[in-house]
C-alpha cells in the first residue's frame, strides 16, 4: 500500500473546514473531549485505540483531569498531516461524546 502524501497548507485548511472541532497545532491536528466521568473517558480512549489499530494509524492520546481526553493526530513519517489524519479524525468524531 502506498504511503500517504503530506497535504499542502491549502488542503489542510480545506480539511479543517470540514472538521471544525479540530484545530491545527504545528504539524498536527488536535481535539479535546470531555467525558461524564473517568470510566467514560477510559472507555473512549479504548474505543479510539480500536479505531487506530484498524486504521494502522496511531494518535497521541492524553487522558487528564479524570474526564478529559486530548487526541493529537499527525503522520509522523511524512512530517505533517495526511488524509489518514483527517479520516481517523472523522471516525473519532463519530464515537465522540455528544456536545
**pLDDT score, position 1:** 53
All three cell numbers of 34, joined, read 470531555
**Mean pLDDT of all residues in 84-98:** 94
**pLDDT score, position 3:** 75
Residue 88 has pLDDT above 70, yes or no: yes
**pLDDT score, position 97:** 83
Mean of per-residue pLDDT scores for the chain? 94
The single residue listed with the C-alpha cell 492520546 is 61
Residue 61 has pLDDT above 70, yes or no: yes
Q: Binning pLDDT at 50, 70 and 90, where does residue 99 land?
A: low
Residue among 55, 41, 42, 6 at smallest CA distance from 27: 6
Compute the distance between CA of residue 30 and CA of residue 16 in angstroms, rounded to an integer.
11
Could you give all domains of the chain from N- to C-terminal order, each with its CATH number?
Answer: 27-95 (3.30.1360.20)
CA 5 vs CA 2, 43, 50, 84, 85: distances in Å: 9, 32, 24, 9, 11
Residue 38 has pLDDT above 60, yes or no: yes
Amino acid at each position: 500500500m502506498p504511503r500517504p502524501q503530506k497535504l499542502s497548507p491549502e488542503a489542510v485548511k480545506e480539511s479543517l473546514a470540514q472538521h471544525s472541532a479540530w484545530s491545527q497545532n504545528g504539524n498536527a491536528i488536535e481535539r479535546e473531549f470531555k467525558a461524564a466521568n473517568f470510566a467514560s473517558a477510559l472507555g473512549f480512549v479504548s474505543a479510539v485505540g480500536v479505531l487506530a489499530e484498524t486504521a494502522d494509524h496511531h494518535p497521541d492520546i492524553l487522558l487528564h483531569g479524570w474526564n478529559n481526553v486530548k487526541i493529537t493526530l499527525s503522520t509522523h513519517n511524512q512530517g505533517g498531516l495526511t488524509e489518514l489524519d483527517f479520516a481517523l479524525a472523522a471516525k473519532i468524531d463519530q464515537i465522540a461524546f455528544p456536545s
